[in-house]
Structure 1
């Protein structure tokens, strides 16, 4: 997180003068009596970066409100951030850069809380909700915190500083509860992307060491699965297990997440669909975004981000892209290119992929209801994400 408590100005609900002064001096309202300087929200930043900074400020605002309203020190310690809020605190970019603030508490208020819209220069970050989840204390201090870290360390995977449950001075939920909250609160595609992001982070994915990275992802996945088993037969636990089993630490973009999520929702042997597939063609080594090595099928997901900021860099990348595809095809790989705009049309993409895979002898079926769902109106909304 880049925003700190010192970047916020907290005023009294009865002190209208200090509130007016904060607004007059270029501060924007983040929450009730909480303001953030627009100097922390640069006009030159990309929209998603601005939304992420606002998300960080909102988390700090909620932490301040809960702490000041806590009756005693014990109650103050009985709340942690979870879901996409935990990802923001860890410095990751979740599916939504304008996420709801998710808090797990032993005691939760029955009042609905909406964090207001934030005007930033000539733009506006829409309002979000505060989502409060009631948890049992043993869920918070059980196997998800200490033994999770110890089990991974014993197998060569270090998760410090996450093991302590504190990051940037803010308490976050154990990893398995973060996964569970992502999967039960969000659209399955959104959850799939976020769980993949968390796996990548915890396993310290390194593209220069694909074999080691895949092994670490499997170790982290198994540890999370064991901790999820301690929750018992709670609602949405089957969906959580299915999404955790399908999530992939090799994903590098939301567009890749859409395509891989679609494939693993319909392919019967989903393990045959891999990310970051190393291929040697034309005496050169490449990495394919998503591939089915047994069928020599390569799926490349393209977007404007791959072509740079200028027309000069775009032409250069395009030339290399064409040459790369020609070498792969000469090595008997079938290359399929999917743009981000194509990927956003979920149902047509799913139907097209099913027909394509069938042509290559890959067995597909109807989408797994634990994995797949129709797109919600907010899923791809520009005001919430990239």
Structure 2
């Protein structure tokens, strides 16, 4: 375990107007710049009260949210920060379901007796394929999950509040663990031909999407029957490319997938029900292989998509608009690797290769009434159910997201 007084510090920064704070790790000089210090994953707890990141060298740090830059400078103030020593590089992490407020106060005493509704869990995916599950409030390891034979790259708890954990790995599989039985009940999803670099779950918990980094497969799986549904094809590029990330929109009606090649990166928006590609955002650049995309995530209201690339820590795209609504300054020294929105929006956290975390102001666009109606409707109505309805063409196009134009641009256009 690390000392919470000597392992990290908050620093305000004025280098970019969108940057709120930077959380920097404090390491011995002997470890600076060495492999293994990357921040591969960040996450906010479901109730927004905690923030976790893999700070490199096998350490996961959990801090109380919101962060207070002034108070954090005083060493005598204990904000309840915690660190977890995993013993090997941590590639993925995820908070479990939100604990019950009525029983949260007694969680530390009950946690020792087993998992319950008041236990806030943190799952960490390790380089060896082991998944370590921690009790955040007690700081204790609950149990380990064994089965993956490669790096566990991505971890997700569905939003239905159940103790179900979904993992994706470089061993070409996804696994669905039932934590109420300490992971002894597990479903294995096989079908990818190479590394599974990312996975996500629809808001109604009916579908899992996964992308294979080298096999160029975008697979949809049923979370109810644990079966393969389809492979999405017809992406923007026909030449060699690598898939890196995916995310469902909050209403589950859109699936965004990110990919990159030697001279461009692009994001495709799909209808997961019909397998139709609805729109594409493409960026072309001059530096061959230098701007690969690392991660994407929809904002909580579904209006924006956060994009992390190797040349800039953060871009935010609003589908349907020309260009970016926000983009950080170029910074190749601290390449972005991951991102995560706070559940209330307005803040995006990004992790970097040097083990640091940056917190950014995100656009707070007030959703229109039409967007709110569409989100509520699409959360429970599929595209197949929408299409037979006697609606005007333009309304149907809006409700099925078929009115989003393609955006093919380049660096110079965004700079201007």
So what's the TM-score if we normalise by structure 2?
0.29
- Which has the larger helix fraction? 1
- Which has the larger strand fraction? 2
Greater C-alpha radius of gyration: 1
